[in-house]
Structure 1
Amino acid sequence: MNKAITEGLNLMPPSFAEGLDVWSREDGTPGTDTYEGAADAALVPADADFAGCLELAKTETVQKLRHMGQTPILPGCYLRVRARVKAVSGNLPSVRIAAWAGDAGGDHVSGLTETGPSVTLTSYGKVFEVSAIIGTGLRGGVDMAWGTAPAFAHVGLDLTGPNGGVVRVDDIEVEDVTSVFLRDMMDWVDVRDYGAIGDGATDDSAAFEAADAAAGGRSVMVSAGDYWLAQHVTFENPVRFEGTVSMPADRRLTLTRNFDLPSYIDAFGDEVEAFRRAVAVLFNFSDHESLDMKGRRVELDGPIDIQAAVANKDTFSQRRVIRNGQFRADAGSAWDTEIVASQASYSTSNPTELTAVDNIASIPVGALVEGLGVGREVYVRAKNTGAGTLTLSQPLFAAAGTQTYTFRRFKYVLDFSGFALLDKFVLDDIEFLCDGEASAVMLPQEGQIFHIRDCFITKPKDRGITSVGGGCYAMHVDRCQFISNEQALRAQDRTTIAMNVNSNDAKIRDNRVVRFLHFAVMNGSGHMIANNHWFQGDTETDGLRTAGLVLTQPNVKTTITGNYIDNSFVEWTNEHDARPDFSDEYSFGGLTVTGNIFTVNDAAAWFRWFVIKPHGTGHFLHGLTLSDNCFKSLNGDVDRIDRVDTTYADLDMGMARNVNIVANTFNGVDQIVSNPVTLQVDQNTDMRNWTLNFGGYLPFGGWARNVTAIVAENQISDAGGGTVAAMPYARVEQGTNRNQVILTWPDPCRGRVNVTVRMDNPV
């Protein structure tokens, strides 16, 4: 690069022969004394070594010679000033290139080096060359590194040393030597050319901004060094890093043209710090909706608090994405679960609050709550230390009074719980290598449509995805794989859970989940759970099996469709209800389970695939469709597919309505179930009252409440062999268990009938 060529700049001062009225004996500024007509200066038109030159007698301690014209000083440009000098007579002085730095307003820029190396003239008649390089950047070989404040220079030289000598000076030359410092292919500018120091202490923010402003589409080079940036810095051009930067925690480096994790790793020299810095920019710069990790692995020795990384906001509602990378949790104490035991009180009048909490300051937000009468996956949402209260994610079903609770705060690779609200956030194509050290993702307190897709959550220590509040509203989890850290354990010995949901409208689709205690514990309603495969078996013969999917709200308005439910069962409860007895609410209903594959192997005969567990009295079924599913047991039959867990209460079968259990297939199941169910009954002796037992066929121990069809097959014969044309009437809910129907004929008769019975009222 040569500015004299590319931009037509006139860098060269005029020759002395053109007149000494433009050569100052002071600093070169307008109005200073010149050498025009001076007694100690003369033009020499011919000299043996110089075609024409200036002869000076040294009469001052520092005798200055400065061109009064302004030599431009441009960012990224380096100028070499040189002169040839020889002593003629008298004392031998020293000579150095010198210049005066002026800003755009014509004022002196103080504090700069304005002289070059000194050369002593050691003999008469010998030509000595003196030179110095002036530039904006602090580079090796630059004698006067001025930064970007000066706009021009008055160049020249100084004579120092003893007075009384006479010297001759050839015309002073100024040339652009920028190419000496820059590479041949100059598609970039260097921050050092704009005043960056790179000593780790000087604030180089302004130099970085100046380099970016000058780049004009070219790349900015951050050459080797440690650059301290005390202010926000934004690059509008691509950036390459040979050196590294450091910044205060509340300042951001924004790379608008190469916003990706590898660039931030190059910038900060540490992948964890780089990720935090990139995330802060992701939430603060609208031109980028996603942070591409570009396949990089980030090794973590502790959790990443995403809100703390962002720092300047705790609510955000614009779509943002982190994609295409890997996190690995390295062993260390930062992943240790915080465990606090504390006494607290609970009242159903404040169903999501613990009061009079001892040692509340030690209880972290996001902790799992354990105690008598506490349902699964109840977390601390917030705390008021002054008031001694904790806000819970769900009510407690049987914890009224005072007791000691245990609080467990798991540690997560990515922890979003510091956000009060976060909408439309996406984790895409990320692998979480938890390695039994860490959990994977904790969701924000509130928010809509947190989307986790095409991710691998591998061996979480405690949890895969945790919601401590409403941040799971309309959450999407698609095409992810969850691999347990407890695969070698018996199913009943596992403690890890792949995910939980507190709010409505989750979409859980196309995931594969391997050997957790539970796949998902889900409160809320309006969920769609489709095309997943979760399996929770072990190697134990006749082993216990645990719930894969746990629904903790009775009226769920949920579909479970097309899943492969393997060595686990669906459990439907109301354990997140402070008043679990039925009152004026909806009871168990709104659930459709259709087109699923249910399988189990090596399980005990009493295993069931579908379990309802009411936690209070008076509940009933009023809206369940269980249809078109395939149930299959391997290596031993199971008794049936369904059960009511009466640990706390039973269902009121007299209230059942709109229960449709039809078109299922059964393999390795001793007793099929259906509602409605049709039995073919053969009466071989003449009886007026025919008793039909539907007990085993009716789901969940239901009652024979309605007869919807009686069809005679072939002739119904009386005692004399004649045809009975009259129809019987039916008496329902007969027998001790109310699961029998008695058909009463006008007269004793025999024959075959097909009778259809329902355990419910259909409407």
Structure 2
Amino acid sequence: MNKAITDGIQLTPSPYANGLDQYSSSDGTPGSPSYNGAANAAFVPADQDFGGALELLKTESTQRLRYKGETPIVPGCYLQIKVRIKAISGNLPTVRIAAYAARSNGTPVPGVVSTGPNTALTTYGQVVEITAIVGIGNRTGVDMVWGPTAAYGHFGIDLLGQNGGVVRIDDIEINDVSSVFLGDVVSTIDVRDYGAVGNGTTDDTAAFEAANAAANGRTVLIPNGVFRLNGDVTFDTRTKFEGTVTMPTEAILLLRRNYDLPNYIEAFGNEELAFRKAFQALLNNSDHESLDLGGRKVALTGPIDMQAAVPSRSRYSTRRAIHNGQLIALADGDWATTTITAQATYSPGNPRVLSNVANIANIEVGSHVTGAGVGREVYVRSKNVARGEITLNAALYDAAGTQNFTFRRFKYLLDFSGFEVVSKFVLHNIEFQCSAVCSGILLAGAGTIFTVRDCFITTPKDRGITSMGGGCQGMFIERNQFLSAEDSLAVSARSSIALNVNANDAKIRNNRATRFKHFAVLSGKNHLVSGNHFFQGDTIKGGIRSAGVVLAEPYASFIFTNNYSDNAFLEWTNERDPEPAFSGGFSFSAMEISSNVFLSGDVAPSFSYIVVKPHGADHFLNGVNITGNQFRSINGSINRAERIDTSFAAMNLTRTRNVRMQGNNFFGVVSQVTSPYTIEHEENTPQQSWLIDTGSALPFQARALSIDAVAVRGGVRNAAGAVNWDAPFVRAQQGPNANQVLVVFSEPVEGKIGLTVRIDNDLV
């Protein structure tokens, strides 16, 4: 690049032959005295070395020579001022390039260097070349750095030393030498050319913005140094960082043309800080919908407070994604769980509030809550310190009164809890390497359609994905691997949970989870759980097992299909009901369990794959379909595939309604149950009332609540051997366990009948 050629800028001053009125004996500004007619200056038209030359007698301590023309100073352009000079007689002076640095209004640029290096003349008649380089940027080799406010200069020389010497001076040359400083000036510009200093303290924001404005498609180079940016900076062109930048938390660096984490790491020189600033840019940029981690591994020394990284926003509902990399927790980082035990009061009439909470200022939002009558995965959703109240994500089932609660704040790699709302956010193709020292992801207090897809959540200490409120509404959890840190522990010693849900409409599909205490704890309704493989066994012979999936509300509207539940069970509870006894509504209802593989090994005979656990009295099953499943126990049989856990209360089996359990296969299961249940019964001696026992064939050890049909096989005959053509009538719920039925004929008969018995009654 040569500005004299490319932009037509006049750089070289007028020759002396055109008149000395263009040359000042002062600073060169308009109105300053010229050498035209001066007693100590004359034009020599035919010097043997220079041709036309200025002969000058030194009469002042600093004899100045300045060209009055305004030589422009342009960002990215570096000028070399060159003067050839020789001593003729008298005292030998010292010579330097000198100039007047002017702003656009003609006033001097303060505080800048305006002279080049000194050169002493030592021999009469010897031609000496004096040079200096001037420009805006602070580059090695630039003698006069004038900064971004410089607009033009008046250039020339100073003669120093004793007066009385006579010199001759060739015409002044000014050349564009920018190519010396730029390896490829066509494709790259340097922020130093626009006034950036890079000393770590001077604010270079304006210089960066000026470089961006001038780039016109070229790459902007940020050279070695530390560049302080106190304001927002946007680059519309590509950047190359050799140095680094520092910024306040609220300031945004936006790299529109090469927006990805590797470039932010180059910009900030620190992976953790770079991730924060790249995320900040993602939420403040309409040009990019996703942050590419570029396959990089980001080592974290503590949780990333995602909202603190974007202090200008507390809500975000535009689709954004982070993908393609690894976040790893350093073992010596700040990951310690904060634990506080505090007294509080709970009233079922205000079911999601703890009041009169002691030490509330130190209890963090997002803390996990435990105490008497507290169900699983209850968290602090918000708090009001002034009122001493904590709002929970769920109600408590048996905690009325005042007691001590324990609040544990787990630490997460990505913590969104500072946001009021985050919607339509996607994390995909990321490994969350928790290193058994922290948890994975904590969701915002509210939001819809948060998505975690194709990720590895590896060895979380406490939780994989936590919803502390409603940030899980419509959430997608798909094709992820949840790898437990508790593989080597017995089931009874495990405490980690892969994920939880509080709101409605989650889709949990095609995930794999290893040896957590629970794979998923789900509240809310209308969830689809399909294609998942979770296994939770251990090597203890006859050992206990934990629930793989926990449903925490009775009305489920839940589909559980095509899953592989390995040494785990599906547990259905109402542990988030502040008044857990049935008092109206649908009770345990709207459940589809179909086409799953249930496998167990080395378990106690009491183990079951489907467990219903009411926390209050008088509940019943209502609208349950269990079909097409494979139940298999190896290395020992189990008694039942399904059961009711009566630890808190029994079910009301007289109200069972619309329940189907049929078409399932049982292997290593003693009671192979079905409903409707078709049974054949034969009496070999004439009896008027036939009492028929269903044994253990009815699901959930329920009642023989209704009889659909009675079919006579080949006729029944009375004591005389005559066929009895009368239709019998039936009575259900007979015997001490109500699992027998009575078929009554008009007279004593013998023979064979078939009948269909059900545990439900659609008319209830």
TM-score if structure 1 supplies the norm length?
A: 0.98
Given that residues 494 and 516 in structure 1 are in contact (C-alpha distance below 8 angstroms), is that contact kept between their aligned partners in structure 2? yes
Give the secondary-structure state (helix, strand or coil) at the position aligned to 1:308: coil
1:185 CA displacement? 6.4
1:184 CA displacement? 4.2
Equivalent residue for 1:413?
A: 413
> 1:368-517 alignment to 2 at 5 Å?
368-517=368-517
Q: Residues of 2 paired with 1:416 and 1:339: CA distance?
A: 20
> 1:143-542 alignment to 2 at 5 Å?
143-184=143-184, 186-332=186-332, 334-542=334-542
Given that residues 300 and 333 in structure 2 are in contact (C-alpha distance below 8 angstroms), is that contact kept between their aligned partners in structure 1? no
Equivalent residue for 1:598?
A: 598
1:147 CA displacement? 1.8
After superposition, what is the alpha-carbon deviation per residue over 1:505-553, rounded to whole angstroms, capped at 9, x for unaligned?
0000000011110000100001000100111111111111111000001
After superposition, what is the alpha-carbon deviation per residue over 1:107-154, rounded to whole angstroms, capped at 9, x for unaligned?
332222111112222232222211110111111110111122112211
Equivalent residue for 1:59?
A: 59
Equivalent residue for 1:38?
A: 38
Are 1:10 and 2:6 counterparts?
no
1:635 CA displacement? 1.1
Given that residues 293 and 322 in structure 1 are in contact (C-alpha distance below 8 angstroms), is that contact kept between their aligned partners in structure 2? yes
Q: Residues of 1 paired with 2:162 and 2:667: CA distance?
A: 114
Q: Residues of 2 paired with 1:14 and 1:356: CA distance?
A: 87
Q: Residues of 2 paired with 1:51 and 1:745: CA distance?
A: 142
| Amino acid paired to 2:537 | G
After superposition, what is the alpha-carbon deviation per residue over 1:694-744, rounded to whole angstroms, capped at 9, x for unaligned?
241221121112111111122222222222211110011111111111000
| Amino acid paired to 1:496 | S
Q: Residues of 2 paired with 1:526 and 1:480: CA distance?
A: 21
Task: Report which stretch shifted further, 530-539 or 27-36.
Answer: 27-36
Q: Residues of 2 paired with 1:298 and 1:433: CA distance?
A: 10
Q: Residues of 2 paired with 1:491 and 1:727: CA distance?
A: 56
Equivalent residue for 2:623?
A: 623
Q: Residues of 1 paired with 2:339 and 2:332: CA distance?
A: 17
1:270 CA displacement? 0.6
Q: Residues of 1 paired with 2:333 and 2:37: CA distance?
A: 83
Q: Residues of 1 paired with 2:85 and 2:251: CA distance?
A: 52
1:586 CA displacement? 2.3
1:90 CA displacement? 2.0
After superposition, what is the alpha-carbon deviation per residue over 1:82-107, rounded to whole angstroms, capped at 9, x for unaligned?
11111112222222111222223333
Q: Residues of 1 paired with 2:695 and 2:611: CA distance?
A: 18
Structure 1 runs of 4+ aligned residues shifted over 6 Å read none
Q: Residues of 2 paired with 1:762 and 1:631: CA distance?
A: 27
| Amino acid paired to 1:168 | R
Q: Residues of 2 paired with 1:138 and 1:702: CA distance?
A: 87
1:487 CA displacement? 0.8
After superposition, what is the alpha-carbon deviation per residue over 1:172-231, rounded to whole angstroms, capped at 9, x for unaligned?
101111111111464111111211111111111111111111111111111111111111
Given that residues 733 and 739 in structure 1 are in contact (C-alpha distance below 8 angstroms), is that contact kept between their aligned partners in structure 2? yes
Q: Residues of 2 paired with 1:762 and 1:670: CA distance?
A: 28
Are 1:639 and 2:639 counterparts?
yes
| Amino acid paired to 1:254 | L
| Amino acid paired to 2:506 | A
Give the secondary-structure state (helix, strand or coil) at the position aligned to 1:116: coil
Given that residues 198 and 227 in structure 2 are in contact (C-alpha distance below 8 angstroms), is that contact kept between their aligned partners in structure 1? yes
Task: Report which stretch shifted further, 130-139 or 98-107.
Answer: 98-107
| Amino acid paired to 1:205 | T
Unpaired stretches in structure 1, ≥5 consecutive residues: none
Given that residues 56 and 168 in structure 2 are in contact (C-alpha distance below 8 angstroms), is that contact kept between their aligned partners in structure 1? yes
| Amino acid paired to 1:683 | E
Give the secondary-structure state (helix, strand or coil) at the position aligned to 2:210: helix
| Amino acid paired to 1:126 | Q
Give the secondary-structure state (helix, strand or coil) at the position aligned to 1:486: coil
Q: Residues of 1 paired with 2:201 and 2:402: CA distance?
A: 57
Given that residues 344 and 405 in structure 2 are in contact (C-alpha distance below 8 angstroms), is that contact kept between their aligned partners in structure 1? yes
Task: Report which stretch shifted further, 752-761 or 510-519.
Answer: 752-761
After superposition, what is the alpha-carbon deviation per residue over 1:252-280, rounded to whole angstroms, capped at 9, x for unaligned?
11111111111011111110011111111
After superposition, what is the alpha-carbon deviation per residue over 1:270-318, rounded to whole angstroms, capped at 9, x for unaligned?
1001111111111111111111001100111211111111111111110
Given that residues 317 and 423 in structure 1 are in contact (C-alpha distance below 8 angstroms), is that contact kept between their aligned partners in structure 2? yes
Are 1:78 and 2:70 counterparts?
no
| Amino acid paired to 2:158 | D
Q: Residues of 2 paired with 1:478 and 1:658: CA distance?
A: 32
> 1:114-133 alignment to 2 at 5 Å?
114-133=114-133
Equivalent residue for 2:139?
A: 139
Percentage of pairs with the same residue:
52
Give the secondary-structure state (helix, strand or coil) at the position aligned to 1:267: helix
1:679 CA displacement? 0.7
1:355 CA displacement? 1.3
Are 1:692 and 2:710 counterparts?
no
1:160 CA displacement? 2.1
Give the secondary-structure state (helix, strand or coil) at the position aligned to 1:276: helix
Given that residues 85 and 170 in structure 1 are in contact (C-alpha distance below 8 angstroms), is that contact kept between their aligned partners in structure 2? yes
Give the secondary-structure state (helix, strand or coil) at the position aligned to 1:288: coil
Equivalent residue for 1:753?
A: 753
Q: Residues of 2 paired with 1:92 and 1:505: CA distance?
A: 93
After superposition, what is the alpha-carbon deviation per residue over 1:547-581, rounded to whole angstroms, capped at 9, x for unaligned?
10000010011100110111110000000011111
Give the secondary-structure state (helix, strand or coil) at the position aligned to 1:334: coil
Equivalent residue for 1:572?
A: 572
Give the secondary-structure state (helix, strand or coil) at the position aligned to 1:713: strand
Q: Residues of 2 paired with 1:388 and 1:185: CA distance?
A: 65
Given that residues 680 and 753 in structure 2 are in contact (C-alpha distance below 8 angstroms), is that contact kept between their aligned partners in structure 1? yes
> 1:636-675 alignment to 2 at 5 Å?
636-675=636-675
Give the secondary-structure state (helix, strand or coil) at the position aligned to 2:131: strand
1:333 CA displacement? 5.6
| Amino acid paired to 1:152 | Y
Equivalent residue for 2:614?
A: 614
Corresponding residue pairs, total? 763
Q: Residues of 2 paired with 1:709 and 1:493: CA distance?
A: 50
Given that residues 109 and 146 in structure 2 are in contact (C-alpha distance below 8 angstroms), is that contact kept between their aligned partners in structure 1? no
Q: Residues of 2 paired with 1:343 and 1:71: CA distance?
A: 78
Give the secondary-structure state (helix, strand or coil) at the position aligned to 1:262: helix
| Amino acid paired to 2:140 | G
Q: Residues of 1 paired with 2:225 and 2:717: CA distance?
A: 106
Unpaired stretches in structure 2, ≥5 consecutive residues: none
Q: Residues of 2 paired with 1:727 and 1:566: CA distance?
A: 48
Given that residues 86 and 128 in structure 2 are in contact (C-alpha distance below 8 angstroms), is that contact kept between their aligned partners in structure 1? yes
Q: Residues of 2 paired with 1:752 and 1:20: CA distance?
A: 136
Q: Residues of 2 paired with 1:722 and 1:239: CA distance?
A: 103
Give the secondary-structure state (helix, strand or coil) at the position aligned to 2:179: helix
Change in 2 beyond 3 A, CA 1:557/1:255: same
Q: Residues of 2 paired with 1:130 and 1:237: CA distance?
A: 39
TM-score if structure 2 supplies the norm length?
A: 0.98
Q: Cα RMSD between the aligned structures?
A: 1.2
Q: Residues of 2 paired with 1:430 and 1:628: CA distance?
A: 35
Given that residues 302 and 332 in structure 1 are in contact (C-alpha distance below 8 angstroms), is that contact kept between their aligned partners in structure 2? no
After superposition, what is the alpha-carbon deviation per residue over 1:597-639, rounded to whole angstroms, capped at 9, x for unaligned?
1111111111111110000111111110111111111111111
Given that residues 707 and 758 in structure 1 are in contact (C-alpha distance below 8 angstroms), is that contact kept between their aligned partners in structure 2? yes
1:362 CA displacement? 2.1
| Amino acid paired to 1:220 | V
Given that residues 88 and 125 in structure 1 are in contact (C-alpha distance below 8 angstroms), is that contact kept between their aligned partners in structure 2? yes
Q: Residues of 2 paired with 1:714 and 1:566: CA distance?
A: 46
Q: Residues of 2 paired with 1:251 and 1:695: CA distance?
A: 74
Q: Residues of 2 paired with 1:701 and 1:611: CA distance?
A: 12
